[in-house]
Amino acid sequence: MKKNKISIFIAIAAIGFALMIQACNKNVNATEKTVAFTNSNVSFQVPIILRTSEYDSLTSFNFLINMDSFVKTIDSKFDTSNIQSVKFSSCVLTLDKNTTPDNFANFHTCSIGLTSGKVFNLVKIATATDISDTSAYFLNMPKSYDWELKNYFRSDSLHYTIFGNTSKLSTDSLACKATIIYSMTLSR
């Protein structure tokens, strides 16, 4: 009788151990990739600034992408449902021409907000503060917060809004390009 109980206990323990190993192997076989995703040379215009302001929405622009196709270029086994994380890394704004007297020195602060075709809640992803009064034809935009942006990237369009606290009036619109870099983690 004791041998039967011990045999049953050993059999149950062996089955439990086998199930535990199988569950662990599932995690070993999972695939995860982290890639840099860049919106590069996205063009937009900042209109003529006719008054200095505390903090205004200055302009907005869209970036259209077939996100599912983009994810499949990384690995054909992935789609947008496999986006586990997207984090903002960096942004640089560049003026298309540097002959105009108007430039980023017209701003005291500048921020970029993000919405998408699926998420309409605007989040500020980057803010430059205390911009120098000296002529500047490019602007590094440091990260505002460490937002999780994966739900924004499960859409085929990203919508950016530029906000600014202006310190000088301008005489010409500013033709700009944005290079925005994200880190995207895919997992299945």
What is the DSSP secondary-structure string of 9-74? HHHHHHHHHHHHHHHHHHHHH--EEEEEEEEEEEEEEEPP--S--SSEEEEEEEEE--HHHHHHHH
Closest CA relative to residue 150, chosen from 89, 86, 81, 91: 86
Q: What is the mean pLDDT of residues 80-108?
A: 89
- What pLDDT is stored for residue 30 in this prediction? 53
Look up the pTM and report it. Answer: 0.77
- What pLDDT is stored for residue 7 in this prediction? 41
pLDDT exceeds 80 at position 5: no
pLDDT exceeds 50 at position 183: yes
pLDDT exceeds 50 at position 180: yes
Nearest 10 degrees: Cα torsion 82, 83, 85, 91:
160
- What pLDDT is stored for residue 22 in this prediction? 43
Q: What is the mean pLDDT of residues 75-92?
A: 93
- What pLDDT is stored for residue 120 in this prediction? 93
- What pLDDT is stored for residue 99 in this prediction? 66
- Spatial separation of the C-alpha atoms in residues 93 and 52, rounded to whole Å: 21
Look up residue 76 and give its amino acid: S
Instruction: Place 91 in a pLDDT band, splitting at 50, 70 and 90.
Output: very high
Report domain 31-187's class.
Answer: mainly beta
Q: What is the mean pLDDT of residues 76-99?
A: 90
pLDDT exceeds 50 at position 42: yes
Instruction: Place 17 in a pLDDT band, splitting at 50, 70 and 90.
Output: very low
Strands 123-128, 107-116: parallel, antiparallel or unpaired by DSSP? antiparallel
- What pLDDT is stored for residue 150 in this prediction? 95
Instruction: Place 81 in a pLDDT band, splitting at 50, 70 and 90.
Output: very high
**What pLDDT digit, counting tens, does each position of 129-165 carry?**
889 888 889 999 989 889 999 999 998 889 999 988 8
- Spatial separation of the C-alpha atoms in residues 82 and 5, rounded to whole Å: 46
**Sign of the CA dihedral with 120 first, then 41, 183, and 138 last:** negative
